[in-house]
Amino acid sequence: MVVQIGAGRFRAAASPGVVGYEGHGVLFTKELNAGLGERIGLVVTQVWHRGPVPREDRDEYGFAVVTSPEQMIGKVDGVFIAETLPFRYPELAAPFIKAGVRTFLNRPLAASAEEAARLIKLGRDSGNPVLAASALAVDPRVLEIRTRRGESAPLKIVNVTGPSDHFWNYVPHLISALVSALVRESRKFKPMTCRWTRQGFSSGTRSSSFSAMDRILKPAPCAAPSRWCPAASRATGTASG
């Protein structure tokens, strides 16, 4: 498709929409529509936000503002759920997942393990897998730590810090970097219940929301054993990757 932004016109291979014009939603829209999108063939054409979107942004970056997220369906190739906090991600993402629109969710994926499991299951049932990820998992410095991991053996303590005091917003970056750097040891991690509330962060034991997550995400049937299907791999005695 040919996209008009200001006085310029260029061909874009894909046109995502943004739900939540704040934080990363604003950053990604401006970066893509200010030149990056022209180089990689990706431009934001539709935006929804729960509040007003500045007129000057619409004019400068060339996107349309819709009155409901669902209005984007059929007009975008994918969607970025970009509200800063995750409390409304399930209701915002569900229509797109069900409609087969590729859906990327801002971090964290959800406000609880149970909500995350339901989103993943919805994607599985709809044949439309969702994505939520951190770029730090493939950051060159993190990958360097992975390759040089043996120089620090035996590893006793790991300290991970980040440039933010917003726990709910930044901790997925830290976890992604940790798991990526210590990919072998990460199989021994013991996850605990984590839940974001409007009053702050709270934690508990594994027996609560992670048990619910296990219940919701029962092993899905697979056509053949593979690293992406541990259930089938275990059943046949093959390695799960």
Per-residue pLDDT of the chain (241 residues; tens, 9 = 90+): 545 555 455 556 789 999 999 999 999 999 999 988 888 888 999 999 999 999 999 999 999 999 999 999 999 999 999 998 888 999 999 999 999 999 999 888 888 888 989 999 999 999 998 998 888 888 898 888 888 888 877 777 777 777 766 666 777 888 888 888 887 655 555 555 455 555 544 444 444 555 666 677 665 554 444 443 444 333 333 332 2
Looking at the fold, whether 21 and 90 belong to one and the same domain comes out as: yes
The pLDDT value given to residue 124? 92
- Of the three residues 102, 126, 150, the one that is the final residue of a domain is 126
Domain co-membership, 16 together with 112? yes
Do residues 60 and 25 share a domain? yes
Residues 220 and 193 in one domain: no
Residue indicated by tokens 């503002």: 65
What is the rounded CA–CA span in Å between residue 27 and residue 30? Answer: 5
pTM of the model: 0.72
Q: Is residue 8 located within the same domain as residue 110?
A: yes
Number of domains in the chain: 3
Alpha carbon distance 101, 92 (integer Å) = 12
> Rounded CA gap, 199 and 89, in Å?
18
Say how far apart CA 187 and CA 135 lie, in whole Å.
21
CA Rg value for the chain: 20
Task: List the CATH number of the domain containing 21.
Answer: 3.40.50.720
Beta bridge partners of residue 103, listed in sequence order: 79
pLDDT value of position 230? 43
Q: What is the reported pLDDT for 123? A: 93
